[in-house]
Amino acid sequence: MKHLKLIYLLSAVLLTISCKNDLLVNDDAAAGMKLSAKEMAITPGYLPLPNGSFEDGTGNTFTNWSMFNGASTLSATTVPAEVYEGNRALKVVNTVSNGIDNSWKIQFGSAYLPTVSGKDYRIRVWAKSTGTSTNGFRFQIRGGTTQFLPHKKIGTAWALYEWGFTATADSTMILFNLGADANTYYIDNVSVSEVPTTVAYSAIWGENGELWDKSRIPDFTNAGYRSGNQVIPDYPQSINVTTLGAVGDGVTDNTAVFKTAINQCAENGTIYIPAGKYVLKDTLMIKRSGINIKGAGDATILYFTKGLEELYPRYNVGGATNQSPWSWEGGMITFSGNISGSGIQSLKIEFPDNAWAGHNFHERAYNAIGYTNSAHDGWIKNVKMKGCDIGIWIGRTSHHITAEGWTLESGPVRAAGTKGVGHHGVNIYGGYNLFQNFEVKGKFHHDLSVESSYSVFNVFRNGKGTDICIDHHNHQVRNNLFTNLNVGTGTRLYTSGGNDTPAGININETYWNITATNNLSYNYMGYNTSGAKSKNNVAVGIKTSSGSATPNADNNWYETINPASLYPKDLYVSQMKLVKNIVVN
């Protein structure tokens, strides 16, 4: 092992991997990649497969997809148990076993994709079936020479399946052949990507952690709900707000009804909010464990007409400072107190479309969701937040919150503002929180903020944004992971605020597979009059023109690897598999 590690350290070996079809269509090889289609969708080399998530379309139609033979067997499903991620998936109900040679009797095809003749590509699909399949389904490749890829048996639990092909034309259609077996399939998150000709491993991690240097890379596997050991629960419905009188007409004030629902909800129960636009004129406070607020996806909108500053203002009177803290904390929906197992999911939160008023003490405090006062082991799942000053806030004594599948966006007025779209995208004072599968649309003053000495062992993974900045407000921030991120333009990655100077000092942070349009610098911040500087950081596989320093004079480990070649793409996913044998999607 010592000799192997020395080879990595001295030569930064690039291991060339054969990308033939027989490797790619092997089930063990597919399982070994350990990444979902959505995780890989922001990775360089992925083709623009329109609507690979099947979210777009009306009724039983799918935008950018075509039904050919057997159209009557194909439909859209919105049943949560039948959808891997998001709100829609493809459902295939075939009552006839046609056999392998006739699997073409049910066909569902993508739009043509730009390809390069002679290049290798891989198709990834999340799928499950209601019964064990004899043959499963396959893909047919159109464009140039028609190719028929092998059938794969589909199991009854969600799993990732992978096929490989070599393009023979400059445009290619992937065509599901689904008619071999009498079975019901659920299919979601389809992606097509180039296969890199080289794969590069870090000298302090290796392929699967065999070179893990624990003096440099911490163990991040305890972040999130129940320390990453349990999935987010799906509590049974306790209350439907419409049965209490809620009206989602965009006019009726539903504040009192929603507060009643929170008070009456059974422990380990769900407050269900059907599709509609529900006007709310005050904060919602959850102070009990085991409460889940759940909507019907984007069709459920909670519309807050006022912000915290209007509802609960403070002023400076007689020279005594009593300024409201809403510029950096608070949420219109807040989980508070020593509670656990409470969260919010599958809905949209909106505020009036006003331009952001400016930094600190100017905001309306359109703050969406907060956890505070030791609230822990909660979740924010598949929530869109529109027009926020702060999207997500976690107080310093709150911890182990998972926020996944979330999006921050703005209306046209806010998006056109000259000061940016808000103050903090997320503002994190606590530790051991997990932020994954997210998108930040527009530029907040600070996009991803870690604020205090309690902001430790947080994980930000599989996210993207317009021009993300990772904000270190406090020099005592330590041991956070930023991995598999597409930061957009890449002009302000380390732009930071706060009282500590020089702003942007990083200590013991890990950056792994960070891509951008522009080349990024490493996170080294030089001396100023205070002598403060960044040190003991790890940056592997960020898009940069800078060379490696392993380490530099301040013990920062900067390992220059092309993000397109780096493996694993997501350090958190790899650590979870190695440490806990948990496969993360």
State whether 190 and 229 are in the same domain: no
448 φ/ψ angles, rounded to the nearest 5 degrees: -115, 105
Q: Are strands 557-559 and 65-67 parallel, antiparallel or unpaired?
A: unpaired
pLDDT of residue 237 exceeding 60, the answer is: yes
Q: Are 16 and 198 spatial neighbours (Cβ–Cβ below 8 Å)?
A: yes
146 is a domain residue: yes
Same domain, 421 and 569: yes
pLDDT tens digit sequence for 97-142: 999 999 999 999 999 999 999 989 999 999 999 998 789 999 999 9
| 115 & 239 share domain | no
Smallest CA-to-CA distance from 161 within 135, 140, 191 is with 191
CA nearest neighbour of 32 among 156, 205, 207 = 207
Is the overall model pTM greater than 0.75, yes or no?
no
Same domain, 429 and 490: yes
Per-residue pLDDT reduced to its tens digit, 353-377? 988 776 656 677 899 999 999 999 9
Q: With pLDDT > 70 as the criterion, what percentage of the chain qualifies?
A: 86
Q: Are residues 237 and 186 in the same domain?
A: no
Does any domain span residue 13?
no
Q: Which of 178, 194, 210 is the last residue of a domain?
A: 194
pLDDT tens-digit map of 147-168: 999 999 999 999 999 999 999 9
| CA 366 to each of CA 19, 112, 391, 456, 536: distance values in angstroms, whole numbers, following the listed order | 50, 42, 8, 26, 37
User: Pairing between strand 276-280 and 249-253?
Assistant: parallel
Identify whether 101 is part of a domain. yes
Q: Domain tally for the chain?
A: 2
Does residue 2 form part of some domain? no
Q: pLDDT tier at 82 (50, 70, 90 boundaries)?
A: very high
The residue with greater pLDDT, 3 or 25, is 3
In a domain, residue 270? The reply is: yes
SS (H, E, C) 419-472: CCCCCEEEEECCECCEEEEEEECCCCCEEEEECCCCCECCEEEEEEECECCEEE
Report if residue 184 sits inside a domain: yes
Instruction: Kindly report the CATH number assigned to the domain that includes residue 70.
Output: 2.60.120.260
Average pLDDT in the chain: 87
Residues 461 and 481: beta-carbon distance below 8 Å: yes
Domain C-terminal end among 179, 194, 209: 194
Distance, CA of 348 to CA of 180 (rounded, Å): 40
Q: Within this chain, do residues 458 and 515 fall inside the same structural domain, yes or no?
A: yes
Same-domain check for residues 428 and 511: yes
Residue 153 sits in the same domain as residue 233: no
How does pLDDT run across 522-553, given as a tens digit for each residue? Answer: 986 554 545 678 899 999 999 999 999 999 98
* Residue 173 to residue 514: CA distance in whole angstroms: 30
At 531 the pLDDT is 61
Residues 183 and 322 in one domain: no
For β-strands 14-16 and 276-280, DSSP reports them as unpaired
Question: For the chain, what's the residue count?
Answer: 585
Residue type present at position 530? S
Residue 490 belongs to domain spanning: 223-521+533-578
CATH code (residue 498): 2.160.20.10
- Asked if the structure places residue 411 within a domain, the reply is yes
* Final residue before a domain boundary, out of 155, 178, 194: 194
145 and 238 part of one domain: no
Same-domain status, 161 and 268: no
Same domain, 179 and 230: no
Q: Is residue 207 a part of any domain in this protein?
A: no
363 contacts 326 by C-beta, under 8 angstroms: yes
